[in-house]
Amino acid sequence: MTQEYHQLVVTESKPFVKWVGGKRQLMRELENNLPKQFGTYHEPFLGGGAVMFNLLANEPRLSCNVSDFNSDLILAYVTIRDKLGKLIESLENHSKNYHKDSVEYYYEVRKQEPKQQIEKVSRLIFLNKTCFNGLYRVNKKGQFNVPLGRYTNPNIVNKENLTAVSKTLQTEKIKISCRDFEAVLDDAKKGDLVYLDPPYQPISSTANFTSYTHRDFTEDDLRRLADLANQLSSKGCHVLLSNSNSKTVKNHFSGKRWSISKINANRAINSNPAKRTGHKEIIIKNY
Ligand SMILES: C[S@@+](CC[C@H](N)C(=O)[O-])C[C@H]1O[C@@H](n2cnc3c(N)ncnc32)[C@H](O)[C@@H]1O
């Protein structure tokens, strides 16, 4: 990496929400596939940010330009950065009420639609910490529709991590925005790294989790993604992409510049624990 190493972040910041497709389990494989040197780090499908936080733990001075299309999620990053005290107060309130009657309180909060920034974000974090599997899923109307999870003592207010995340995000070198992934083409320069982790292509008709937002990730989106990756590559960017081991994806990246490798993954999204192991995913890169 080109940035100098500095020990700036006291407590390591980690994802503050569990996100479907989160890359914590694949981190070692991804680390082994990073280019030796790169300029700015771009991640236009940020999700829980596991990869960004991991890179920042080793390289606190890294410039990051990250985004996601899910406006509730991006609002959460921005609120943790700018209004942490108020957010923690609101989460503490959720925690107190949850511990009085978890079932009644969970479903009451789930049906609410707060309009204020703090309440919106604390609701998202509260539901993420207490819902089944920590899954973020919305229906076509954008309504959160996951049932209550079975936790005895969920960590609803992880003050230490939220404080670390807030400090990390306050660094000028980190830019966060809510936008479609294609916009990264205007920002990425020669020598930068662009990590693309879109909603995965389903490999079977029963494995189609694509609803992080009210809009699905369609085949047309995949086509746009392949075009974008080729344009970034022509600009001289390092491009790294992860996806399911899907024929459709491999067909889109069959060009000479792309190398495709299979990696072992242990996905937590399948409701049947027996189907969560021995699963392959792919990593595609142009370097
Ligand atoms: C596989 S997840 C990313 C997981 C992330 N790497 C992590 O470790 O948590 C895919 C993300 O893409 C976002 N997304 C879906 N469609 C998008 C679009 N058109 N543009 C940008 N982001 C999009 C979703 O909101 C979701 O957060």
Contacts of residue 264, defined as CB under 8 A and 6 or more positions apart, other chains included, come to: 29, 278, 279, 280, 281
- The span from the CA of 236 to the CA of 234, in Å, is 5
β partners of residue 241: 196, 284
CA of 101 to the centre of ligand 1 (A): 33
Q: Decide whether any atom of ligand 1 lies within 6 Å of the 71 Cβ.
A: no
- The span from the CA of 6 to the CA of 19, in Å, is 29
Among 13, 68, 209, the mutation site with the greatest number of ligand 1 atoms within 8 A of its Cβ is 68
Q: Whose CA is nearest to atom 8 of ligand 1?
A: 22
Distances (CA, A) of 282 to 116, 182, 246: 40, 21, 8
H/E/C letters for each residue in 233-261? HHCCCEEEEEEECCHHHHHHCCCCCCEEE
Q: Which two tokens stand for residue 19?
A: 């996100």
Decide: 17 and 70 in contact? Cβ < 8 Å: no
Q: Decide whether any atom of ligand 1 lies within 6 Å of the 22 Cβ.
A: yes
**Using the 8-state DSSP alphabet, how is residue 151 labeled?**
-
β partners of residue 43: 66
Among 16, 25, 69, the mutation site with the greatest number of ligand 1 atoms within 8 A of its Cβ is 69
Distances (CA, A) of 255 to 164, 200, 247: 42, 20, 14
Helices (runs of H) and strands (runs of E) counted in the chain: 10, 7
Q: What is the pLDDT along the chain (287 residues), one digit of tens a residue?
A: 444 444 444 578 999 999 887 787 789 999 999 999 999 999 999 999 999 999 999 999 999 999 999 999 999 999 999 999 999 999 999 999 999 999 999 999 999 999 999 999 999 999 999 999 887 788 778 788 899 999 889 999 999 999 999 999 999 999 999 999 999 999 999 999 999 999 988 776 555 444 555 557 888 999 999 999 999 999 999 999 999 999 999 999 999 999 999 998 765 545 555 555 567 899 999 99
Domains and CATH numbers, the chain: 24-71+161-204+217-285 (3.40.50.150), 77-157 (1.10.1020.10)
Q: Whose CA is nearest to atom 20 of ligand 1?
A: 180
**Using the 8-state DSSP alphabet, how is residue 214 labeled?**
S
- The span from the CA of 16 to the CA of 168, in Å, is 12
- The span from the CA of 102 to the CA of 223, in Å, is 44
